[in-house]
Structure 1
């Protein structure tokens, strides 16, 4: 069974948060390359999920 958009969005959020808790190079104003990749994935999935919710 394929993961739902919500599940993927939540996993991306968890991965982004976990990275931020351990990475010494990331800050609220700047991200390391891995942190940037994780943030962009989270952001893209969040946008898709919120758009889906608006469509109803």
Structure 2
């Protein structure tokens, strides 16, 4: 069973992907304020997950 951090990281990625699919203002290199917030949340959680000490 995935841990809570992994689940939050995957949920953030899904939210970012869903927004990007429906937002006309977001591209791979430019994002609307909501898209930027979702992208930053995803990348922050991803970095935290990938850089945490392994048990």
TM norm structure 1: 0.88
1:4-39: CA deviations, max 9, x gaps?
Answer: 000100000000000000000000110000000000
TM norm structure 2: 0.90
Q: Which runs of 5+ in 1 are unaligned?
A: none
Deviation at 1:51, TM superposition (A): 0.8
Match in the other structure for 1:21:
21
- Stretches of 4+ moved more than 2 A in 1? none
Instruction: Give the aligned length.
Output: 52
Q: Which runs of 5+ in 2 are unaligned?
A: none
Match in the other structure for 1:33:
33
Higher share of residues assigned helix: 1
2 CA distance for matches of 1:7 and 1:19?
18
